[in-house]
């Protein structure tokens, strides 16, 4: 059974009815000067309005809904007052009509949910499924029903993680891009980028457009197992969609081959049918990647721009790059953990490891927010009540090998949505989450039902990304 969700806008609807004189509250002073009590039956009013729609009593307009091929016709008996109240488009349309019948031409998907749309105008609420969200948003946008448009947008952003046979996020992104719904577009794109590893394994990946594909490939905040996982998914997409030559070349050039070990690069060159076809288009990138792995990063930095995307890691979940961190009962006290990463993605550093110490404090207060102690010799506590969560990540030891390298730390914060653990937030910093300013600011870790807690635990993943400094000398 497909679960439906209901969007309510009853309060707004009743306010509009009141403004039109259909619903009035007695707030005028009586003869004694006191304010009178109010008797209100909004549910009864909504029920009667719904009965008007269902039975067609007092109808003064017929809405004839036709599809482009005229293979489906739907006739709805409606009331011009209600339609005009809820939609300025209907108001203008009804004022200029020449007969009691108004012909509306809608796409097949919109025609299928048009009765739900009209019912919302009467009752202020609507039940919908994932596959009905886009056509309802189209109708709300077309007829300028702002409350429904905002409600469906909210529904979509809250259901990005919902499982469906073919997936819905990529389709919602494409629609939002076309409709100009910036909040929905950005929410979809962020979800796809931060949960890309699971998207790549779903049936939705094959439906991704070439425009969305390039948008994703150009991002450095993608969350996935490795660059090889991304290449394999790209190859499957190209085999399924057969893009034109320019699109294929641009997509393959967006892969960060330097983030793959030489043995994987060699395997690609000998086994990948897609790379065999377009190898000339990426030959220079493969050559630079082999150079990157054969020389020290400092040596490379003297001759190449190591800040270009080819040498910039994404958010890889592989153990080479970081570690998961599950914090049980995160509000209790400070927690610490240690983990190791490879010094850098270059094979020159493959045998070198860096040990990192991480400290999680659930109630940390910045110095500016701590109470002042004026007594001589009084010690100021390092952790007090009423603070906010913080993570500090530092290397266990310093090393000359760190020269020319900045280590960016990234903390992925998981949340439970629709029964799945998904990446909810991504925080980047050098040493402390204080640098981001809003670490877990939305999370109420004291509430057991918080979406940030799974079985009472906070699920994090720490990624350490070495970023190299270019040492190219400028010639005068």
Question: What is the pLDDT tens value at each position of the chain, 476 positions in all?
Answer: 445 666 654 444 444 444 444 444 444 555 555 566 777 667 777 777 777 677 767 788 999 999 987 677 899 898 898 899 999 999 999 988 888 899 999 999 999 999 999 999 988 888 999 999 999 999 999 999 999 999 999 999 999 998 877 789 999 999 999 999 999 999 999 999 999 999 998 889 999 999 999 999 999 999 999 999 999 999 999 999 999 999 999 999 999 999 999 999 999 999 999 999 999 999 999 999 999 898 877 777 777 777 788 989 999 999 999 999 999 999 988 999 999 998 888 888 888 889 999 999 998 776 565 555 555 555 455 444 567 899 999 999 877 667 777 899 999 999 998 888 999 999 999 999 999 888 998 888 888 889 999 989 999 999 999 887 765 554 44
Please give the pLDDT value at position 25.
45
CA angle 457/164/149 to nearest 5° reads: 90
Q: Are 474 and 468 in contact (CB under 8 A)?
A: no
Across the chain, which distance is largest between two alpha carbons, in Å? 95
User: Hey, where are the domains in the chain?
Assistant: 44-156, 186-302, 316-365+386-468
What CATH number is given for 186-302 in this structure? 1.25.40.420
- In this prediction, residue 139 carries a pLDDT of 97
Do the beta carbons of residue 423 and residue 223 sit within 8 Å? yes
Which SS3 state, helix, strand or coil, does residue 328 take?
Answer: strand
Return the pLDDT at 41: 63
Of 167, 193, 189, 166, nearest to 177 by C-alpha is 189
CATH number of this structure's domain 316-365+386-468: 2.60.210
Report pLDDT for 401. 67
Q: Are 213 and 306 in contact (CB under 8 A)?
A: no
Residue 475: exposure state from Cβ atoms within 10 A (0-12, 13-18, ≥19): exposed
Give CATH for domain 44-156: 3.30.710.10
Q: What is the pLDDT of residue 10?
A: 44
pLDDT at position 38, please?
74
Q: Are strands 61-66 and 101-105 parallel, antiparallel or unpaired?
A: parallel
Rounded CA separation 51/207 (Å): 42
């Amino acid at each position: 059974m497909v679960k439906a969700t209901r969007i309510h806008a009853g309060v707004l609807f009743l306010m509009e009815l009141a403004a039109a004189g259909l619903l009035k509250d007695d707030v005028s002073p009586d003869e004694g000067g006191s304010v009178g009590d109010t008797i209100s039956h909004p549910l009864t009013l909504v029920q009667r309005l719904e009965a008007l729609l269902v039975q067609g009593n007092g109808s003064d307009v017929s809405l004839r809904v036709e599809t482009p091929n005229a293979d489906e016709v739907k006739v709805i008996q409606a009331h011009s007052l209600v339609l005009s109240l809820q939609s300025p488009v209907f108001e203008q349309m009804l004022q200029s009509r020449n007969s009691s019948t108004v012909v509306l031409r809608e796409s097949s998907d919109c025609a299928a949910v048009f009765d739900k749309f009209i019912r919302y105008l009467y009752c202020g609420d609507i039940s919908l499924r994932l596959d009905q969200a886009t056509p309802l948003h189209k109708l709300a946008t077309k007829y300028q029903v702002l409350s429904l448009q905002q409600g469906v947008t909210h529904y979509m952003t809250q259901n990005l993680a919902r499982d469906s046979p073919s997936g819905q996020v990529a389709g919602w992104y494409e629609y939002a891009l076309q409709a100009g719904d910036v909040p929905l577009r950005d929410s979809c794109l962020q979800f796809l980028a931060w949960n890309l590893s699971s998207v790549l394994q779903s049936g939705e990946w094959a439906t991704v457009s070439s425009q969305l594909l390039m948008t994703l490939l150009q991002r450095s905040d993608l969350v996935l197992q490795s660059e090889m996982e991304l290449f394999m998914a790209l190859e499957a997409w190209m085999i399924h969609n057969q893009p034109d030559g320019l699109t294929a070349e641009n997509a393959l050039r967006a892969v960060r081959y330097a983030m793959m070990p030489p043995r994987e690069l060699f395997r690609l060159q000998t086994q990948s049918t897609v790379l065999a076809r377009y190898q000339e288009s990426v030959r220079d990138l493969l050559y630079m990647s082999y150079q990157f792995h054969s020389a020290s990063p400092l040596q490379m930095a003297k001759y190449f721009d190591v800040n270009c995307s080819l040498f910039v890691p994404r958010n890889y979940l592989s153990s080479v790059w970081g570690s998961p961190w599950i914090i049980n009962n995160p509000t209790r006290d400070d927690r610490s953990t240690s983990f190791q990463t490879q010094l850098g993605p270059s094979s020159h550093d493959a045998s070198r490891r860096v040990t990192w110490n991480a400290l999680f404090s659930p109630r940390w207060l910045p110095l500016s927010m701590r109470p002042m102690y004026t007594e001589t010799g009084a010690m100021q506590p390092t952790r007090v009540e009423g603070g906010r969560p913080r993570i500090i990540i530092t290397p266990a030891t310093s090393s000359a090998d760190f020269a020319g390298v900045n280590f960016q730390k990234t903390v992925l914060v998981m949340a439970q949505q629709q029964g799945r653990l998904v990446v909810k937030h991504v925080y980047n910093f050098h040493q402390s989450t204080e640098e981001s300013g809003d670490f877990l600011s939305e999370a109420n870790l004291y509430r057991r039902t918080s979406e940030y807690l799974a079985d009472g635990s906070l699920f994090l993943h720490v990624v350490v990304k070495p970023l190299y400094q270019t040492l190219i000398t400028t010639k005068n």
